[in-house]
Structure 1
């Protein structure tokens, strides 16, 4: 497979290797190891496993999109066309991204056999260029009706250059979708910050390995490691800051929502992959919510346990950071 980075960082065009002879042709439509290796070679994170496959059949001119889901149900999509042809579009809806509001469009068809990887943080849509176009999606999360959102397909601010067709067939729901400036965007899109670290994954057919090394993903000497597991439903943890201690948290299983507060602004970050770490610097109030039943959170710390380093009262924390800023 050939992996080509598009103009939108993270969105990748995949060209499979096709073997042909007088009998016909053969190709690998998906290979988990090759997929992970291809993204890794581009310096991109390995996504969560695919958990759902969808197929649609569309008449020429049928336009579906622009769709996405809110956390914790955000989806990465690997899309392809197995019959007919479609013009496929991805739009960057990551607030704060240098390419926020920009789009790319590629033709996917049964003849060119190309695929497009669209990670979480992008809205997706396509228009069928032929009758009886069969579109295939592999997704990294299950469909959730309450989390489903959309952006208007012909939003003038996006200025998507859809193919010139005699007519577009668009659902009533997609026709009244909000424009990008009015759309509800996922809170986790604030993750494009220094706090979130993508950890280096090494893997082969046996599985994967993550090595945590000082100076790479972990910017401090690790002096203590502990982990949380078995957190009961509707229980939140944390609710403190540290005067000197730096930490990195990784959910090696399951997921939870981390809230970071520097005294001026707050941000939510979902820890939902074993190759994703959150750096919790000193003087940052942090809380952990919405633990999944299978969550195992590992925490790396820059020093040993010291109760005197904790700030456990929020008013005391605000007073501390205010004095520190003077």
Structure 2
């Protein structure tokens, strides 16, 4: 498996290793550990696991797109063609992204065996170049009619260079899609950022309940949950950052003061109610102070414990933040 960069940093073309002999050919169409390893080599994030497969058949000229879904059912897609050929397009629609509104296209065919990885936050579409074109794609979330959105395929602000000379066949729903400027779009996930959340209460005369699950409240899959309690008076905790880990912190009892530092600005938030939470992305230095005697701080984490992910030296942290800023400016 070889990953080829495109003009959009997060979108990559995948060329599988094909073994051929006089009988025909064989290749692995998907290998999750190898896929993750190759993404890591390019410094790209590891996606959620694929949980749905789709298969479509299109005649020559059929154009489908540009489609995407909003959180909490945003979809990353790994796409390929197993019969015929198609011109496949991905568009960065993440507000705040340095490549917002940019697109990339690639020809996928049964002959070249190429695949395209399109992460969450990108719109996707394709046009069939041959009759009986079969298109397969794996998705990181299930289909949601309520959260499905479309952008007009020929939006002049995008200027997609679709193949010339085709008599496009387009569904009425896709013809009615919004232009990019009017579309309901996702925001860019930004390392070094925090977000205060108000958690929804489910309750009646008997009392209250708050349910936390992967949704708009926790915009990542959490793989570890831990809680801090019994902290002694005058003790502060934290004093570290994480390279990749993302967290949601909630005081389910008592209170504490959270100090968060992204290397440029600092922010304080009091967690003093079970209805308050703070979403802490990676590359945020965090400290926890002023624990009340009855404080129970619960933390939902995106990954299992890994000491190599910790940044425990503040100077090392600021150096990493500065290096990340230079890298973003170069994109």
Give the Cα separation in 2 of the matches to 1:60 and 1:31.
31
Pair 1:81–1:192, CA change in 2 (3 A): same
Aligned to 2:33: 33
For the pair 1:255 / 2:214, whether they are aligned, the reply is: yes
Q: Matched residue of 1:35: which SS? A: helix
For the pair 1:272 / 2:272, whether they are aligned, the reply is: no
- 1:129-140 equivalences under 5 Å are 129-140=129-140
Pair 1:256–1:175, CA change in 2 (3 A): closer
For the pair 1:4 / 2:4, whether they are aligned, the reply is: yes
CA contact (8 A) 2:65 2:126 kept: yes
Pair 1:232–1:113, CA change in 2 (3 A): farther
Give the Cα separation in 2 of the matches to 1:101 and 1:305.
45
- 1:178-257 equivalences under 5 Å are 178-186=178-186, 189-195=187-193, 235-236=209-210, 255-257=214-216
Give the Cα separation in 2 of the matches to 1:152 and 1:159.
11
Work out the number of aligned pairs and report it. Answer: 240
For the pair 1:168 / 2:168, whether they are aligned, the reply is: yes
CA positional deviation for 1:277 = 0.5
For the pair 1:93 / 2:88, whether they are aligned, the reply is: no
CA contact (8 A) 2:74 2:141 kept: yes
CA positional deviation for 1:5 = 1.8
Q: Deviations over 1:108-135 (max 9, x none)?
A: 0000000000000000000000000000
Give the Cα separation in 2 of the matches to 1:89 and 1:35.
21
CA positional deviation for 1:283 = 1.5
Gaps spanning 5+ residues in structure 2: where? 195-200, 224-243, 249-257, 261-266, 278-284, 296-331
- TM superposition score normalised by structure 2: 0.66
Give the Cα separation in 1 of the matches to 2:70 and 2:274.
19
Pair 1:176–1:138, CA change in 2 (3 A): same
Pair 1:176–1:5, CA change in 2 (3 A): same
For the pair 1:127 / 2:127, whether they are aligned, the reply is: yes
Pair 1:232–1:16, CA change in 2 (3 A): farther
Pair 1:185–1:164, CA change in 2 (3 A): same
Aligned to 1:53: 53
**What is the root-mean-square deviation of aligned Cα atoms in Å?**
3.0
Give the Cα separation in 2 of the matches to 1:273 and 1:127.
37
Q: Deviations over 1:252-304 (max 9, x none)?
A: xx52544xxxxxxxxxx723355640487242467998x9xxxxxxxx96346
Which one is further off, 165-174 or 51-60?
165-174
CA positional deviation for 1:195 = 1.9
CA contact (8 A) 1:68 1:122 kept: yes
Give the Cα separation in 2 of the matches to 1:273 and 1:110.
37
- 1:8-23 equivalences under 5 Å are 8-23=8-23
Give the Cα separation in 2 of the matches to 1:177 and 1:273.
34
Pair 1:180–1:304, CA change in 2 (3 A): same
Pair 1:123–1:288, CA change in 2 (3 A): farther
Aligned to 1:200: none
Q: Which runs of 4+ in 1 moved over 4 A?
A: 231-237, 273-276, 285-289
